[in-house]
Amino acid sequence: MNSFIKTAGANFEGGKIIKHMTRDSNCKFTSNIQIGMDAPFFGEPAGTDIREKGPSERQFGSYDRNIMIRDIKKCFNKANEIMTQNRIVDLVVQIARGRNGLIFLQDDILPVLQSIFMISNTSTIDLNEPNIQNYNFANGGRLYITFGYRTTDYFDYTKMINEYIFMNIGMFARLTENLTAGQVCIPSATYDVVKNGMDLTVHAVNYNYFDFCFNLGLMHINLFGIADNMPFITTDDYTLEDFMELINNNYQ
């Protein structure tokens, strides 16, 4: 077992979305950027009343938007560097969140993108793909932004012709107290979690050292990805002990 302080989170996509995208030979680089949201077992749950007020992370005392934006910029600056060095013109960004995905994009992600990349001010929407916003890069490439965190929401890479970079920006429930709301993290390992009877079990492990943001000095976490048919992570359906057993048995 790792002797370092454990840092762990859980959400729906975990590392499954990266596995999905790397099946495409045109997807040359990936990053799984994960941002701390609620902490249901430590007094910061994201119930319906919280989520209806806007992005949940903003409503917790540990949230620092300036730090979050600074770290998100690190990731997109790295993406820009890789795209320039490798002459890659297309970028796909998945905003892996639900009702507040568009607000998060408009308030936090799009201004960062516009500060780094030369992109069009307005997006175009393909009527056949209403969940995807398209922006043009000045160099002739495209920025594709899509939303959602379940397997049915994953980006359909079969439409891609050019080589591209894929960046997932997800939100996770904090399972250890040493993480803050809005903290930008990179998973060092991800675990696919299923429910067998009353127990949570891991049925696949993936190591994430190839992530192009892995060495940017961001917090590394172990990320547990629950199945689509499992309930949201709240104290109504899970206990901290459920996850602590997974963490203690699987931590890398």
For the segment 68-105, what is each residue's pLDDT rounded down to a tens digit?
999 999 999 999 999 999 999 999 999 999 888 999 99
Mean pLDDT of the chain: 90
42, part of any domain:
yes
> Does any domain span residue 3?
no
Range of the domain at 226: 8-250
Half-sphere exposure of 111 (CA within 13 A, CB side): 8
pLDDT in tens, 215-245: 999 999 999 999 999 999 999 999 999 999 8
**CA–CA distance, 136 with 119 (Å, rounded to integer):** 5
Residue pair 63/180 in contact (Cβ under 8 Å)? The answer is yes
- Give the model's pLDDT for residue 3: 40
pLDDT beyond 60 at 130: no
For residue 45, what pLDDT is reported? 79
Tell me the three state secondary structure of residue 172: strand
Residue 217 in any domain: the answer is yes
The number of residues making up the chain comes to 252
pLDDT beyond 80 at 131: no
Reported as a pLDDT band with limits 50, 70 and 90, residue 187 is very high
Q: Which of 31, 76, 80 is nearest to 186 (CA)?
A: 31
Q: Is residue 2 part of a domain?
A: no
Is the pLDDT at 141 greater than 70, yes or no?
A: yes
**Do residues 143 and 118 make contact, with C-beta atoms less than 8 angstroms apart?**
no
91 touches 139 (CB < 8 A): no
Q: How many domains does the chain have?
A: 1
Structural domain includes residue 218: yes
